[in-house]
Amino acid sequence: MARSDIALTAPGILAGDSGGIFQGLTLWSAIRKAKRNPDSQTLEQVLDGQTYARWQVLKHKYIGSDRGIEKLRPMYAAFELYGAAMQQHGLTDEPIVGKLLADALEATGRKRVDARYAIPVGNRRLAAKAFEVNPARDVECLKQTLAHLEAYMEFSPNAADAWAAGDLERYRSAEALYSPIHQCWAELTNEAIATAAGVPDPYRMSDTAWLKALDDALSRHDTVFTTLAARDILMHQGMAARLEALGYAIRELSNADPAPPTPLDYRPGKRAARD
């Protein structure tokens, strides 16, 4: 960070001028009713028998006898289950890295540019009234969570420990043992809010906004600091793959290198993005 000229936030989505990212259930009070199934249906009524039976097993294991949760949409039931399982295993997905980076950037006097896409939300009550989620995707969100939760809880701590230790070989081996939990509840919530605001594809807009911010930063600075998901970088997927397609090269660094090169190096010139 000390060798960089400026920093960018990671790609992300903001809800208009609210300043809050819709990860999980950071919802306006006006759409809290949208958390429940339409027409007062229960999970037993909207899920097939096999999925509901699996839900009951994991609900009993991680949540207990909470009858109120049976009225939630499947995607929000998935969120509650995921949160309870994380807590029971002593895990967290709180964005602690962001706070560490903010402190380090402040210490080095570097400016941080917010490169997230802001959904242009106007009247929140009207947006809440138009809140809609595809029923099939709603159910699929819970199904995916049920399918991957146990392996994620068992093996993801090993991957995290390996990453923290800088053991990339062990990290890759641990990553191969489980599928990451796709936080579909956040994605579907963002999409529903964005659609109500007239934005049909907020994640495409988010990627476009971030890449433009990166290009603008590199047009004015030699070195830019930003962050991406470790899995995307090492597995050459997601935004890391997009950067490679644009001509960036991803290189691993050694902690023993006295002056490590920039991992994301833009070939056509001297401009570089550092992660």
pLDDT at 268: 38
Provide the pLDDT confidence category of residue 273 given band limits of 50, 70 and 90.
very low
Q: How confident is the model at residue 191 (pLDDT cuts 50, 70, 90)?
A: confident
State CA 54 to chain mean position distance.
25
Task: Check residue 30 and give its pLDDT.
Answer: 55
Q: What is the mean pLDDT of the chain?
A: 83
pTM for the model: 0.80
- pLDDT mean over 152-179: 91
Whether 204 contacts 253, CB under 8 Å:
no
Instruction: Measure the CA–CA gap between 34 and 242, rounded to whole angstroms.
Output: 34
Residue 245 has pLDDT above 70, yes or no: yes
Task: Write down the pLDDT at residue 59.
Answer: 97
CB distance 223 to 4 below 8 Å? yes
Q: Which has more confidence, 93 or 210?
A: 210
Please give the C-alpha separations between residue 46 and each of 22, 43, 138, in angstroms, as whole numbers: 25, 5, 10
The answer on pLDDT for 5 being more than 70 is yes
Question: 3-state SS string over the chain?
Answer: CCCCCEEECCCCEEECCCCCCCCCCCCCHHHHHHHECHHHCCHHHHCCHHHHHHHHHHHHHHCCCCCHHHHECHHHHHHHHHHHHHHHCCCCCCCHHHHHHHHHHHHHCCCEECCCEEECCCCHHHHHHCCCCCHHHHHHHHHHHHHHHHHHHHHHHHHHHHHHHCCHHHHHHHHCCCCCCCCHHHHHHHHHHHHHCCCCCHHHHHHHHHHHHHHHHHHHCCEEECCCCHHHHHHCCHHHHHHHHCCEEECCCCCCCCCCCCCEEECCCCCEEEC
Mean pLDDT for the stretch of residues 140-167: 94
Residue 233 has a CB neighbour count (10 Å cut-off) of 20
pLDDT on residue 210? 96
Decide if pLDDT at 41 tops 70: yes
In this prediction, residue 3 carries a pLDDT of 85
Residue 271 confidence class, pLDDT cut points 50, 70, 90? very low
pLDDT at 18 over 70: no
> Which of 66 and 170 is assigned the larger pLDDT?
170
What's the confidence (pLDDT) of residue 260? 45
Average pLDDT over residues 218-233: 91
Confidence of residue 21 (pLDDT cuts 50, 70, 90): very low
CB 273 within 8 A of CB 218: yes
The yes-or-no verdict on residue 243 having pLDDT over 90 is yes
